[in-house]
Amino acid sequence: MTNAFQPDPVVAARSLFKEKKGFPWFLAMACAALFAFSFFMYTWQYQFTGADLYIHSQLASEFNFLDPHSITSRLAYPMWHLCVSVLYQAGLPLAWSAAIMCSLAKVLGLVLAWWLLRVLAGRRVPLPVLTIAAFCLMFITSLRLPWFNPVVYRGVGSPTVWHNPTQTMVAFSMLLCVPYLAHCWYEFERRLPLYRQKAKLPWHMPAILAALNMFCLSCKPTFMQAFIPAAFLFFLIQWIRHPRNSAFFFQIILAFLPAVGYFGLQYLYYTGVLVEFTSGLEFGLTPGSAWNAIRSALLMSAFPLFAMLCCRRKDLLQDKMLVLALIMLLISALQSMFFRETGLRQGHGNFNWAAMSCSLLLWILMTGHFLRSVAAFKEAKDKSWYRVAAFGAGFSLLLWHLYSSWYYVYYLFKWGTMF
């Protein structure tokens, strides 16, 4: 079996899952363990009446499916709330309904992360290792510096959070959008030599991409505020490289048009144009905001950024998901620097959510590449001392992140706080 890197996540997944390796019992046990812990965590979090989980749950409990205004007048990203409302109106307690939806979102994130790790890490990495890695990624946080962020999350942010239910939906929905967008690009590349300037996608692919984008926006718009401009920059550069293939690029534009329109409505909603009593937007750069954004990005993504130096593979940037993730990380950092909310949401830090989502995406992608590089290095005959030192430093940084992740959960229960 070849271990050549296949950058298309959908094609690689088809190839891998055709191999008959039996039911993934280890993954099933990891999913059960994560669901059980998450359900306990979220039912415990429900006690904090000022927390996002409780507030969003109360909104969901007031939905009346016979009166759409009861939904649209309250928020512009209702997916989590709709699911919770269905469970609640079916007879489950509100706390259980909220906890079940959050826990399911966590498990879906685990399954999609496992899929991407399996695609990126290749066949040399055992499936139990990939499962453990995916499980740990569902808890990963920024680095804890006792003199700066002793409680891990505050003042920095985190790739994963436990207090915000809609962010748990974003964490798995983005893992559908980014791989499928990359799949669209690779499909175009495959068709290009055959069809040349007439190369374009089958129309079901832009339709699926448009549906995934809309689904992600209905969960929460924070990831898409980085994903849309990153996709624009990526495909603009490719359009310049392939000026005769406008048909394909118009397909991509059409796939993003519904999302851009929906995102615009969400912006108008939260800046008080469509409804009253919301927030405004302030634009400006200060040395403090610039440093906070850079520092937070480094603390959240220290390991994946360092892992890029460790891997040193020529095919690393062939992964267009990784290229998109790096562009998104830069855009989300710039948004954190320049944009601030005013009004009711002043100080809520909602322009930091995109950076947290992009950090988690980068974590998943680079963990897969790192494991692949480690497996290849173990089989290599020439093991230079600086490569050994680099991988050693990478694992040390990873352990620091894992310690910080454990400490964050310990802190939440120890001090009885929501974040």
As a whole number of angstroms, the distance between CA 164 and CA 42 comes to 10
Mean pLDDT over all residues of the chain? 92
Structural domain range at position 321: 141-415
Residue 123 lies in a domain: no
356: its two tokens: 């947290």
Please check whether residue 115 lies inside any domain of the structure: no
In a domain, 40, yes or no: no
Identity at 54, one-letter amino acid code:
Y
Residue 38 lies in a domain: no
Report how far Cα 199 is from the mean position of its chain's Cα atoms.
Answer: 31
| Separation of alpha carbons 214 and 377, rounded Å | 41
CB 175 within 8 A of CB 364: yes
Lowest-confidence pick of 13-22, 167-176, 383-392 = 13-22
Indicate if the pLDDT at residue 264 is higher than 60. yes
Query: Is 272 contained in some domain?
Result: yes
Residue 316 is assigned to a structural domain of this protein: yes
- In the structure encoding, which two tokens stand for residue 211, read together? 């549906």
pLDDT attached to residue 131: 97
Q: What is the domain count for the chain? A: 1
Count of CB atoms within 10 A of residue 271's CB? 16
Answer yes or no: are the C-beta atoms of 202 and 163 closer than 8 Å. no
- Report the greatest alpha carbon distance in the chain: 68
Q: At what angle do helices 165-195 and 320-338 cross, to 10 degrees?
A: 130
Task: Please give the Cα distance from 76 to 84 (Å, whole number).
Answer: 16
Model confidence at 346: pLDDT above 60:
no
Q: How far apart are CA 351 and CA 296, in angstroms?
A: 13
Q: What is the model's pLDDT at position 70?
A: 85
State mean pLDDT over 4-15. 84
User: Please, where are the H alpha helices in 201-286?
Assistant: 204-219, 224-241, 246-270
Tracing tokens 């991409």 back to the chain, one arrives at: 209
Q: Is residue 215 part of a domain?
A: yes
Residue 77 maps to a domain: no
